[in-house]
Amino acid sequence: MRINRGAHRPSPNGSALALLVLHEAGSAGAGGDWQPLLDRWPGPSVAPDLPGHGGSPPPDGGKYIPADATLAALEVLAETGLGVPPPVVLGHGWGGYAAELLACGGRAQALVLVDGLGGPWVTEEEIALDQVRWLREVLEDADAVRWPGRMPDPLLTHGFPSAWERDFTTARRKAIAAPVLAVETARSATPPDERGERLAAFAGARRLVELGSAAVGEAVEEIIAATLGWLDGWRAGEPL
């Protein structure tokens, strides 16, 4: 897998806490969208272009699954040396799903999930139906079914079929003891009345911040403020 590290800020302090950012699937700006956060993070930081975005080509075979971002993240952490000790991992949208998988394997010291609590709950039958819907939409998109001539890969603009089965998601989150900050914007797919319950499934300390901005791009300063404020409180030993 060939991964462009994208935005990368070396450590100004060898002992400072590192940050890894995993952007949303289909993001036009890829890792570069998060440069303002990297610039203000108090330690080393990296926001790679995930496969099929920015400077990173599609994977061999041109197929994508949500866990691709997890594999890309492991590669970047190995190349940059930011994986030991584990970094704080910020995941946006489907990047949040990948961040959770890293945390399950002990590869994240803390999580920041931006619009990452998941879409509406679905049954196993509804997952199968959503896969059919997704495939139909892709097949009707001429750009999505050919090898991409531009990035992000047009296939990724269709996202992924839903993976938000309640029992599977809750069990995964119970295995994550790292502290979690969930930042929800007005573009979040998570029903507002379910956000607290979904966050409560995580085994560690957790905090929910709900922003009124319409999209992540418009809320970047608020997201940065919430993330850095949470980090300061965590490092100071304040209850999360």
Locate the domains of the chain by residue range: 4-120+163-235
Confidence check: pLDDT of 110 > 80: yes
pTM: 0.94
Per-residue pLDDT reduced to its tens digit, 70-80:
999 999 999 99
Percentages (nearest 5) of helix, strand, coil residues in the chain: 40, 15, 45
pLDDT band at 142 (very low <50, low <70, confident <90, very high): very high
CATH of 4-120+163-235, one of 3.20.20.10, 3.40.50.1820, 3.90.1300.10, 3.40.50.970: 3.40.50.1820
Residue 141 reports pLDDT greater than 80? yes
CA-closest candidate to residue 209, choices 225, 218, 92, 97: 225
The residue with tokens 């997201």 is 223
Expressed in angstroms, the distance from the first to the final Cα of the chain is 37
Q: Measuring CA to CA, which residue among 120, 66, 55 is closest to residue 93?
A: 66
| Confidence band of 62 (pLDDT split at 50, 70, 90) | confident
Tell me the C-alpha to C-alpha distance, in Å, between residue 12 and each of 39, 44, 90, 170, 210.
Answer: 11, 7, 20, 38, 31
Which of 83, 15, 5, 87 lies closest to 46, judged by CA? 5
Q: Catalogue the E-assigned strands of 128-224.
A: 180-184, 206-210
Region of 114 (left: φ > 0; alpha: ψ -120 to 50; beta: rest) is: beta
pLDDT at 10 exceeding the cut of 70 = no
- CA dist 54 and 46 (Å) reads 14
Percent of the chain with pLDDT over 90: 81
Burial 85-111 (b: 16+ CB within 10 A, else e): ebbbbbbbbbbbbbbbbbbbeebbbbb
With a CB cutoff of 8 Å and minimum separation 6, the contacts of 89 are: 19, 20, 21, 22, 73, 99, 102, 103, 107, 108, 110, 111, 112
226 band by pLDDT with thresholds 50, 70 and 90: very high
Nearest alpha carbon to residue 87 among 199, 11, 25: 11
Report the alpha-carbon distance of residue 79 to residue 94 in Å, rounded. 23
pLDDT of 234: 81
Phi, psi (degrees; rounded to nearest 5) at 110: -160, 160
pLDDT at 13: 52
